[in-house]
Amino acid sequence: MSNQSQRVVITGLGVVCPLGRDLDSIWANLQSKSSGISELDCLPVGGLDVRYGGQAKCFTGDINDFGPLEKTLQRAIKKNQKVMCREIEMGVAACQMALAHAGIAAPESRNPERTGIVYGSDYILTRPEEFSDGVTACLDSQKHFEMARWPTDGRPKVNPLWLLKYLPNMPASHVAIYNDLRGPSNSVTIREASSSSSITEAVATIRRGAADVMLAGATGSRLEPLRALHFSVSDKLAANRVNPAEMSRPFDTGRDGSVLGEGAGALVLESLEHALARGAKIWGEVIGGVGSAVGHFGQGEARDFVRIATKNVLSGLMHKASLAGLDLKSEDWHIHACAKSETEGDSSEALGISDSLAGRRVPVAAAKSYFGNLGAGCAAVEIVTSCLAMEHQKLFPVLNCETLDPKCPISVAQSDSSAGNAFVSLAYSSQGQASGILVRRLLSA
């Protein structure tokens, strides 16, 4: 039975990103203004004009990178890594670390029937080498590919399990199987909007009484070779700089494009009653989530779908705040913007934020200035960083915003900015999808 008054809280955080894969390291890097953008070693040399990005070099795929695991679970994950691409591995790792952080990694610490997962990802591209042996088997003496030979000579050379490595529902499937999560399970694939949408669905699942505990978040990468090639021709990427840490420049007048990255984040969500009963540490309460989809249409401002979608989401979240008794007109809070460092996108998002705030000054954070665009995983990682900031009551500054673009009428977070008692996370895709969630500190139970 649905209970919209059911309060849902965050009790576990897991992350794999260019700043690290443990919360202390990530917070230390944010506080010291240490960028995670560096020279890439995961793409073909000379094949792309992409030399730097937000590579999660802290994650090698070694079983120890998945966090504290008991031996049986270690063996299960290690055995099945042969059917996981890197994005899926990062997502599984983030979820396992979130369960451990919440103190419910042990099977006996949770009810499997009342524990589920909603997890997002990008659409995952198959790496070319999956088909290389098959293609080679179909070449003639002149090295020309003969399609007619594929059914008999080529296809048998392809691993029959190759597809399992790239299905976007596999992160949720793996985690549910390894941890015997028998509750609701779902997957979301809407690019950067995936993380908040997954969290929103997980919260709704708890509120409708279908689960007591849910894992939520997303994994993503723009550093797979074909994906990187696609974005290098379809998107405006930041130009290489002598110091790559200066490439991601949200809201700065000198921004010239986004930076490719990879990462995954996961949250453990619980009903407040369930969390209190087991004495869990609470990192925040999710008031709610909002989604919006805006097409490319009309003329002038009507074509500015990022501005419209951002306003729709932020205005909707502010309305949810008022329904929950949270007065954002007087409360100290912050906004975590999508902030891709795109010339048009940043100004459009900033205008959408300004439209919703109606003159109020709220600090705007942008973790992408530290690690670039992580695809579907970016908002989940950003939400983790905002939870850390709220815990420490201190925001991290936006890197490289040396001169705020006059077209971005917002208050960019500085080193002395307060994180406040609540935050809004915003995300949008270039296809017009947008989503966001509102989280506040649990000041009373």
Q: Are 214 and 115 in contact (CB under 8 A)?
A: yes
As beta bridge partners, residue 220 has 263
Domain range summary for the chain, segments of one domain joined by +: 8-125+166-440, 127-165
Q: How confident is the model at residue 232 (pLDDT cuts 50, 70, 90)?
A: confident
Side chain identity at 227, as an amino acid letter?
Answer: R
In words, the CATH class of domain 8-125+166-440 is alpha beta
What does the pLDDT read at residue 125?
Answer: 84
DSSP one-letter code for 266: E
Mean pLDDT for the chain? 94
Q: How confident is the model at residue 1 (pLDDT cuts 50, 70, 90)?
A: very low
Q: Are 187 and 167 in contact (CB under 8 A)?
A: no
Q: Are 186 and 121 in contact (CB under 8 A)?
A: no
**Is 90 exceeded by the pLDDT of residue 392?**
yes
* pTM score, whole prediction: 0.94
Rounded Cα–Cα distance for residues 87 and 94 (Å): 11
DSSP one-letter code for 101: H
In this prediction, residues 436-442 reach a mean pLDDT of 96
Rounded Cα–Cα distance for residues 413 and 398 (Å): 6
Q: Using one digit for the tens of pLDDT, what is the confidence trace for 176-229?
A: 999 999 999 999 999 999 999 999 999 999 999 999 999 999 999 999 888 888
Structure tokens given for 130: 């999956």
Which of 270, 262, 285, 297 lies closest to 437, judged by CA?
A: 285
Beta strands 38-39 and 115-121, pairing class: unpaired
Q: Using one digit for the tens of pLDDT, what is the confidence trace for 136-158?
A: 999 999 999 999 999 999 999 99
Q: How confident is the model at residue 301 (pLDDT cuts 50, 70, 90)?
A: low
Q: Are 121 and 87 in contact (CB under 8 A)?
A: yes
Q: Enumerate residues 6+ apart whose C-beta is below 8 A from 288.
A: 200, 203, 317, 320, 324, 437, 438
Question: According to DSSP H, which parts of 190-290 are helical?
Answer: 194-207, 225-234, 272-277
Q: Using one digit for the tens of pLDDT, what is the confidence trace for 10-59?
A: 999 999 999 999 999 999 999 999 999 999 999 886 767 889 999 999 99
Structure tokens given for 255: 């921004």
pLDDT higher for 166 or 444?
Answer: 166
